[in-house]
Amino acid sequence: MTELLSVSYQIYTTLNTVYLFTAFLGGFVALMEKSGGFGGFADAMGKFAKNARIGQFVTFLSGGIIFFDDYANCLVVGGSLRPILDELNVSREKLAFIVDATAAPIASLVPLSSVSIQHFKTTIRLHRFHDFVISF
């Protein structure tokens, strides 16, 4: 029984860690946006975006550059490339789809991303719990 409580507490603290990480990431992204940090990234990527199709492809490639977390990918790529794609008359819905379609798959495939590390930790914990249940 104590093993079950231990596993549930570990999952609870993991969720709290994810929430805190997301809150700090959102604050950091807002700070970068207000200080003009997104402007440099948008200018660098905007040089390649001459029309709507290339702008969408640049958005897709930018999703592959920022791979350490899927939430960070959505916030950084979506926030920085929104003005460029607005100028190219690409709808915000299409931008949201492209960013979302590249964020989680890239983050889950790269072994050094927060999603992969969290998956490995959870798998190890569940195997320990499974071994505990089987031993009964």
Residues in the chain with pLDDT values less than 50: 132-133, 135-136
Token pair for residue 107? 């983050």
Whether this model's pTM surpasses 0.95: no
> How confident is the model over 102-122, as pLDDT tens digits?
888 887 777 766 666 666 777
Q: Give phi and psi for 91, each to the nearest 5.
A: -65, 155
Taking the domains of the chain in order of start, what are their residue ranges? 2-134
What is the structure's pLDDT at 126?
67
Q: Mind spelling out the 3-state secondary structure of the chain?
A: CHHHHHHHHHHHHHHHHHHHHHHHHHHHHHHHHHHCHHHHHHHHHHCCCCCHHHHHHHHHHHHHHCCCCHHHHHHHHHHHHHHHHHHCCCCHHHHHHHHHHHHHHHHHHCCCCHHHHHHHHHHHHHHHHHHHHHCC
What is the structure's pLDDT at 87?
93
Q: Which of 109, 105, 99, 9 is nearest to 45 (CA)?
A: 99
